[in-house]
Amino acid sequence: MSAGKAGQAGPPNRPDQLIRVALLGSGGSIGRQTVDVLARHPELFRVVALATGSQGQILEEQARLLKPAVVSLAEGRSTRLDLPAGTEFIAGPDALETLATRPDVDLVVVATGGLVALRSVLAALEAGKVVATANKETLVAGGHLVMPLVRRLAAGAAGATGDAHHPLANPLGWLRPIDSEHSAIWQCLVGEDHRAIERLLLTASGGPFLDTGVADLATVTPEQALRHPTWTMGAKITVDSATLANKGLEIIEARWLYDVPLSAITVVIHPQSVVHSAVQFVDGSVKAQLGTPDMRLPIQYALTYPERMASAAAPVDLIAAGRLEFRAPDEGRFPALRIAREAGQAGPRASTAVISADEVAVARFLRGSLDFNGIPRLLGAAVERFGSGSPIEPPLDQLIGLDAEVRQFAETYR
Ligand SMILES: NC(=O)c1ccc[n+]([C@@H]2O[C@H](COP(=O)([O-])OP(=O)(O)OC[C@H]3O[C@@H](n4cnc5c(N)ncnc54)[C@H](OP(=O)(O)O)[C@@H]3O)[C@@H](O)[C@H]2O)c1
Pick 55 or 3 by higher pLDDT.
Answer: 55
Q: Look at residue 400 and tell me whether its pLDDT is greater than 70.
A: yes
CA of 137 from ligand 1 middle (Å) equals: 11
So what's the pLDDT on residue 77?
65
State the average pLDDT over residues 213-224: 94
Q: Look at residue 382 and tell me whether its pLDDT is greater than 60.
A: yes
Q: Are residues 290 and 151 in the same domain?
A: no
Q: Which of 177, 193, 210 is the last residue of a domain?
A: 177
Q: Are residues 132 and 219 in the same domain?
A: no
Q: Look at residue 232 and tell me whether its pLDDT is greater than 60.
A: yes
Q: Look at residue 5 and tell me whether its pLDDT is greater than 60.
A: no
So what's the pLDDT on residue 6?
39
**Residue ranges making up the domain that contains 101:** 2-177
Q: Are residues 95 and 9 in the same domain?
A: yes
Q: Are residues 163 and 186 in the same domain?
A: no
Over the stretch 299-322, which tens digit does the pLDDT of each residue have? 999 999 999 999 999 999 999 999
Cβ neighbours around 161 below 10 Å, total: 16
CA angle 161, 194, 117 (to 5 degrees): 75
Q: Are residues 152 and 254 in the same domain?
A: no
Q: Look at residue 12 and tell me whether its pLDDT is greater than 90.
A: no
Q: Return the percentage of the chain with pLDDT > 70, whole number.
A: 95
CA distance 355 to 351: 6
Q: Which of 142, 177, 212 is the last residue of a domain?
A: 177
Residue 250 Cβ inside 6 Å of ligand 1? The answer reads no
Q: Are residues 203 and 136 in the same domain?
A: no
State the average pLDDT over residues 116-133: 98
HEC per residue, 8-54? CEECCCCCCCCEEEEEECCCCHHHHHHHHHHHHCCCCEEEEEEEECC
So what's the pLDDT on residue 14?
55
pLDDT band (50, 70, 90) for residue 78:
low
Q: Look at residue 101 and tell me whether its pLDDT is greater than 80.
A: yes
Q: Which atom of ligand 1 is nearest to the CA of 93?
A: 31
State the average pLDDT over residues 158-185: 96
Q: Which atom of ligand 1 is nearest to the CA of 232?
A: 3
pLDDT band (50, 70, 90) for residue 3:
very low
CA distance 377 to 379: 5
Q: What are phi and psi of 72, to 5 degrees?
A: -145, 155
Please tell me the total count of domains within the chain: 2
> Pocket of ligand 1, candidates 52, 108, 355: which has the most ligand atoms within 8 Å of its Cβ, to mutate?
52
Q: Are residues 271 and 186 in the same domain?
A: yes
Q: Are residues 204 and 153 in the same domain?
A: no
So what's the pLDDT on residue 82?
94
Q: Are residues 316 and 341 in the same domain?
A: yes
Q: Which atom of ligand 1 is nearest to the CA of 116?
A: 31
State the average pLDDT over residues 191-206: 97
State the average pLDDT over residues 261-286: 98
So what's the pLDDT on residue 92?
85
So what's the pLDDT on residue 75?
82
CA distance 33 to 30: 5
User: Sheet containing 275-281: which strands, arranged edge to edge?
Assistant: 265-269, 197-204, 275-281, 286-290
Q: Are residues 246 and 290 in the same domain?
A: yes
CA of 312 from ligand 1 middle (Å) equals: 21
User: Sheet containing 19-24: which strands, arranged edge to edge?
Assistant: 88-91, 70-73, 45-52, 19-24, 107-110, 130-133, 175-177
Closest residue to atom 25 of ligand 1, CA basis: 25
Q: Are residues 67 and 163 in the same domain?
A: yes
pLDDT band (50, 70, 90) for residue 9:
very low
Q: Residue 147 is part of a domain; what is its CATH number? A: 3.40.50.720
Pick 75 or 20 by higher pLDDT.
Answer: 20
CA of 285 from ligand 1 middle (Å) equals: 36
Q: Which of 141, 160, 177 is the last residue of a domain?
A: 177
How high does pLDDT run on average in the chain? 94
Task: State CA 289 to chain mean position distance.
Answer: 18
Residues 6+ apart with CB under 8 A from 194: 258, 259
CA distance 304 to 28: 21
Alpha helices in 127-275 (DSSP H): 137-161, 171-174, 180-189, 214-217, 222-225, 235-243, 245-258
Q: What are phi and psi of 365, to 5 degrees?
A: -60, -45
For CA atoms 176, 182, 184, 185, the dihedral sign is negative
Q: Are residues 287 and 350 in the same domain?
A: yes
So what's the pLDDT on residue 2?
38
Q: Look at residue 327 and tell me whether its pLDDT is greater than 90.
A: yes
CA of 15 from ligand 1 middle (Å) equals: 34
> Pocket of ligand 1, candidates 24, 29, 246: which has the most ligand atoms within 8 Å of its Cβ, to mutate?
29
Over the stretch 331-379, which tens digit does the pLDDT of each residue have? 999 999 999 999 999 999 999 999 999 999 999 999 999 999 999 999 9
So what's the pLDDT on residue 80?
84
CA distance 159 to 271: 44
CA distance 412 to 88: 40
So what's the pLDDT on residue 88?
96
